[in-house]
């Protein structure tokens, strides 16, 4: 008897009728991560929070063969342990990263932050372990992409944030930059910004549009540089602003 597989809504992306036209691997921005990694000098230590299969750390290792590579991940960690120097299994929304203050030169969070409620805690821990002059690569879906703007104009929901899916927090370029500056004034500078996957175009046309209109791409990538010492500013903001949500603050 022939077996059938039922795809549960929200269990994976690419369910749109337009999905067959796009290259879904573009959302991870491998070429962008590789470009960013090549622009940051020679990091001694690189940390990927939500490392997945190790794609991004592998790209950093290619660009900087002597870098010490560390990964945070909860799935398939045995494969990561075979490739990288240290692997930590922990809940980044609650755990303290087992690293000293200012001990990391590069942190990567690619397609991770949209899954988290505890954004203040995660940015706190990243900012704590990142050295002054170190870099933070962030890749997230873009709620302000052109296709999402058109959907909202038609009364439809943005594709990457559905209540029955894993994504819980939307991002756009202006809001992300505002978040960083409000919480940690003068703490980071934006070194580079790129876009990836322009729905519903195939790869060649998508990349051309992303190069011209990165803020309208489906996925956006930030290269931040830490400019000054960090002293718990991300944890202090929810208290000072009296945010009416029970955020985890340690």
**CATH entry 1.20.910.10 includes domain 21-234:** no
Rg (CA), the chain: 18
Q: Helix (H, G, I), strand (E, B), or coil: what is residue 240?
A: helix
The pLDDT, as a whole number, for residue 75 is: 85
Task: Please identify every stretch of the chain with a pLDDT value under 50, giving residue numbers as ranges.
Answer: 1-3
164 Cα distance to chain centroid: 21
**Could you tell me the end-to-end alpha-carbon distance of the chain, in angstroms, rounded to an integer?**
54
The pLDDT, as a whole number, for residue 209 is: 96
In the structure, how many helices (H) and strands (E) does the chain have? 8, 7
The pLDDT, as a whole number, for residue 18 is: 60
Q: Decide: residue 165, CB within 10 A, 0-12 exposed, 13-18 middle, 19+ buried.
A: middle
- Going from N- to C-terminal start, the domains of the chain cover 21-234
């Amino acid at each position: 008897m022939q077996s059938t597989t039922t795809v549960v809504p929200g269990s994976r992306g690419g369910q749109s009728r337009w999905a067959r036209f796009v290259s879904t691997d573009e959302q991870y921005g491998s070429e962008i991560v590789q470009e960013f990694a090549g622009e940051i000098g020679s990091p001694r230590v690189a940390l990927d929070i939500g490392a997945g299969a190790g794609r991004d750390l592998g790209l950093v290792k290619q660009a900087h063969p002597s870098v010490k590579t560390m990964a945070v991940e909860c799935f398939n960690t045995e494969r990561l342990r075979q490739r990288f120097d240290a692997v930590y299994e922990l809940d980044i929304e609650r755990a303290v990263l087992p690293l000293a203050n200012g001990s990391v030169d590069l942190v990567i969070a690619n397609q991770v932050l949209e899954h988290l409620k505890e954004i203040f805690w995660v940015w706190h821990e990243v900012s704590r372990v990142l050295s002054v002059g170190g870099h933070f690569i962030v890749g997230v879906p873009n709620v302000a992409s052109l296709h999402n703007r058109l959907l909202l104009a038609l009364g439809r929901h943005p594709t990457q944030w559905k209540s029955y899916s894993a994504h819980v927090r939307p991002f756009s370029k202006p809001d992300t930059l505002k978040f960083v500056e409000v919480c940690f004034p003068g703490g980071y500078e934006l070194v580079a910004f790129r876009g990836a996957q322009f729905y519903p175009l195939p790869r060649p046309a998508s990349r051309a549009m992303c190069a011209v209109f990165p803020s309208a791409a489906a996925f956006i990538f930030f290269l931040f540089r830490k400019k000054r010492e960090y002293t718990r500013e991300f944890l202090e903001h929810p208290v000072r602003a009296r945010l009416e949500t029970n955020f985890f603050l340690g």
